[in-house]
Structure 1
Amino acid sequence: MANLLKLAGFITGSVSLWVMLGAVVAFLQPQLIKPIGQFIPYLLGIIMLGMGLTMTTADFKLVLSRPKDVCYGVLLRYLIMPGVAWVVIKVLALEPALAAGILLVGCCPSGTASNVMTFIAKGDTALSITVSSVNTLLSPLLTPLLFLVLGGTVIPVDTMALLLDIVKIVVVPILVGMAIRFWANRWVSKLQPVIPALSVVAIVITVSAIVALNAAKLAGVAVMALAAVALHNLSGLLLGYWSSTLLGMSESKARAIAYEIGMENSGLAVALALVHLDPVAAIPGAIFSVWHNFSGSLLASYWVRKSNKKMLITS
């Protein structure tokens, strides 16, 4: 068991490295990875199931004990990222399919990676988990609605189909995971340290499959798509941090909200794009899946050094 825990710690401690390695391999050898693409919705379901297995009713207690913080996080999430996405596609004059992909990423909820990055960056992890949970449970309603308003101007949108797919891929696995946690808590608790590692493996495989499916198209639009994704992600992180600070949140809360806004469930965006939109619309989500782990890790390293320096000064 000790060796298993060490392996799990090693896997979860180097998320960005595994994601980038998987992406590189998939880009260089797409034919080897492409067959996995058909399983992307199921891999996302596994990730969401893992999220559900780690969730308890305690994760939602902050809604009652700190409603203002949670409301700020949710409102900022669904205001900033769709808004920034709209500005990015207009400034860069993106073609409709790429524009739709950026907008879809912006309208999706925050991903589980935001919780990991918040923990590493010494942010308010409890707030991060609660905001992620609420964002995710609201996504079947808000993601299709926001995408209809914004994305409907650049590409046809079937909001009901989007809603149903989000329920199947996100909400149902989370609820199943929470039910398993409730009815088999002792068994799940024993596996708790390993669950994040399984989610990381699923994330890496998902990102690799996404890159492999879009490898040929990536070469043609990579520069513009990467510029759009980087601008979208970095603007989200910065605006999330600054806006929460202006609202009077503490440093640890601001870090959590920054990640909740800047880090997306881009895998969900890819799955929805592949089914409902032009395949090119999946490219921003594919790049975002790699990029936000990279930028999030860099920001976490900066904040950790900043915190350590402050501790040295005050000690």
Structure 2
Amino acid sequence: MNNTLSVSESVVNNFQMSPTALLLLNTVLALMMFGVSLGLRPADFGAVLRRPLAPVTGLVAQFLLLPAITCLVTWWLEIAPGLALGMILVSCCPGGTFSNVMTWIGRGNVATSVSMTAVSSLAAVVMTPLNFALYGGLNPNTRDLLQAIALPAESMILLVVLVLALPMLAGMAIGARFPRFVRRSEGFFRSASLLVFLLFVVVSFSKHWQTAVQIAGAVLLLVIAHNALAFLIGHFSSRLMRLPVADRRAVTMEVGIQNSGLALAILFTFYPSAGEMLVVAGFWGVWHLVSGLSLAGMWNFHHRKRGLQRELRQSPQS
């Protein structure tokens, strides 16, 4: 791990962003949240109150179990402080905006997924800064680094409000007022924001791709394992609560698809020299899309297979 530390220090200067690029990144994140929120209605929040078990299970897994277990695992494995703190920051973010699409592809309960995204995005205004300070400080290996970077909690809260809460409220208001606009533009917002976000990640790494390749093995392994842990926490939490299959899939996807774009925005805004943390968040931004789509595709395949088998059993014998 020492080689990873010494190499990753050379990445630091390559992750600096101009004020214009930083503003564009935050704008893209806000547009992603705006696009997802176009289909939200106040009734979606009411659904959480009427059927709270699945969303509450997901939120507990999202904001309590995932950060706590991440903190314990990084401490137990003695992962390098910069990498460990990057993993903790990602685990403290809310569910990613594409979890709803992946839940839909995987034949999960989209209503549960949407309600979790909405509530977790609002809860992140408080929970993301709080959890990051708590679990980053509990891990003795990351405590000194956390104190050194001293991310301002008030500014973090303001950033989360600007890129998550306000775009969500604006999307809900416009979606309710202009339903035709929602039907025509929702797909565009999802596709365009995904492409632009991936472009940011690619550009960041291409500025020093040789160094990124050198550290890719160690960091990518951590990211893959961490992402798998997130999916497992969502899956076993929902199984423990005996949720229906569709709800289990929604919870699993919501916990496994983290809003790593928010983590990137926080780091680029407040601590652009945190090279290792940026690498972790950047790799997460790519990998969780790959793993999420793969899992959704597998669920979809099994759903179709079961449906075909059911049809064959019900068809009259020739």
TM bucket, shorter chain: 0.7 to 0.9
- After superposition, residues 1-20 of structure 1 pair within 5 angstroms as none
Give the 3-state SS of the residue equivalent to 1:194 in structure 2: helix
Give the 3-state SS of the residue equivalent to 1:62 in structure 2: helix
- Among all aligned residue pairs of Structure 1 and Structure 2, give the percentage whose two residues are the same amino acid: 30
* 1:284 counterpart = 2:280: yes
**CA shift for structure 1 position 272:** 0.6
Give the structure 1 partner of residue 191 of structure 2.
197
Q: Distance in 1 between matches of 2:72 and 2:107?
A: 31
Q: Distance in 2 between matches of 1:214 and 1:99?
A: 22
User: Mind listing any 5+ residue stretches in structure 2 that lack a counterpart?
Assistant: 1-13, 138-142, 312-318
State the AA in 1 paired with 2:146.
Answer: I
Structure 1, 63-72 or 52-61: larger mean CA deviation: 52-61
* 1:233 counterpart = 2:227: yes
- After superposition, residues 41-80 of structure 1 pair within 5 angstroms as 41-80=26-65
User: Mind listing any 5+ residue stretches in structure 1 that lack a counterpart?
Assistant: 1-30
State the AA in 2 paired with 1:289.
Answer: G
Deviation per CA, 1:111-131: give whole Å up to 9, x if none: 111111111111111101110
Give the 3-state SS of the residue equivalent to 2:146 in structure 1: coil
Please report the TM-score for the alignment, with normalisation by the length of structure 1.
0.82
Give the structure 2 partner of residue 166 of structure 1.
160
* 1:264 counterpart = 2:255: no
Q: 1:155 aligns with which of 123, 137, 146?
A: 146
Question: Residues 175 and 299 of structure 1: is their aligned pair in 2 closer, same or farther, counting only changes over 3 Å?
Answer: same
Determine if contact 1:43/1:206 at 8 Å carries over to the other structure. no
Structure 1, 238-247 or 135-144: larger mean CA deviation: 238-247
Structure 1, 125-134 or 296-305: larger mean CA deviation: 296-305
Q: 2:93 aligns with which of 108, 118, 125?
A: 108
Give the 3-state SS of the residue equivalent to 2:60 in structure 1: helix
> When the two structures are aligned, how many residues end up with a matched partner?
283
Deviation per CA, 1:45-82: give whole Å up to 9, x if none: 12122122232223223212211222111111112321
Q: Distance in 2 between matches of 1:127 and 1:214?
A: 41
Q: 1:83 aligns with which of 68, 71, 79?
A: 68
Query: Radius of gyration: which is bigger?
Result: 2
Q: 1:273 aligns with which of 249, 267, 277?
A: 267
**CA shift for structure 1 position 185:** 3.4
Q: 1:132 aligns with which of 108, 117, 124?
A: 117
Give the structure 2 partner of residue 309 of structure 1.
305
Please report the TM-score for the alignment, with normalisation by the length of structure 2.
0.81
Q: Distance in 1 between matches of 2:67 and 2:210?
A: 28
Q: Distance in 2 between matches of 1:98 and 1:214?
A: 18
